[in-house]
Structure 1
Amino acid sequence: MTNQFIRFKLDLSYDQYLAVYQGVAKTVVTIADDGRRIVFPAGNIQRYLTKSGIQGHFEMELGAGNKFVGIKKLA
């Protein structure tokens, strides 16, 4: 089976992401470009957090059995 790639946009404010550190939120829920609802651990995008939050277009890679491989920010 080949890996699956899911593209999506995020526009989270710093305060919205701060809820993760406070233990209020543990997951990110968004709609992929193809219309699928995706849910993943918020820690998977932590490295993209800036003072303004997390914004941009991202691509998530899933391997066999829909196992998380990684997320990268697209240009």
Structure 2
Amino acid sequence: MDYRFNVNISYSEYQLYYSGAASSVVVTTDKGLRLQIPAARFRPYLSQLGIRGRFKLTTDEENRFRSLERIA
């Protein structure tokens, strides 16, 4: 199953996740579903501005993580 959502986390805010003070990022999908995603999954997308963009999360039939990609 695919879930699409936007993320806008500043660099300083993401440092809380990076340091381990917060372990998950909670997002709301386009369909209004709230998802809790391990913060470490977003590390490849961290820039000087933080994490910004549109993402697609793909899960298997049992809702286990398969992939996370930036789509815009």
RMSD of aligned residue pairs (Cα, Å): 0.8
Show the counterpart of 2:60: 63
State the identity %. Answer: 33
Deviation for aligned residue 1:20: 1.5
Shift in Å, 1:21: 2.2
Say if 2:71 is the partner of 1:74. Answer: yes
TM normalised by structure 2 equals 0.95
**For the residues of structure 1 that align with 2:34 and 2:18, how far apart are their CA atoms?**
23
Which residue matches 1:49?
46
TM-score normalized by structure 1?
0.91
Q: What number of residue pairs does the alignment pair up? A: 72
1:22 corresponds to which residue?
19
Which protein is bigger by CA-based radius of gyration?
A: 1
State the 1:64 CA deviation. 2.2
Q: C-alpha displacement at 1:5, in angstroms?
A: 0.1
Q: Which runs of 4+ in 1 moved over 2 A?
A: none
- The match for 1:10 among 3, 7, 10 is 7
Q: Which runs of 5+ in 2 are unaligned?
A: none
Distance, in Å, in 2 between the alignment partners of 1:74 and 1:58 is 5
1:51 counterpart SS class? coil
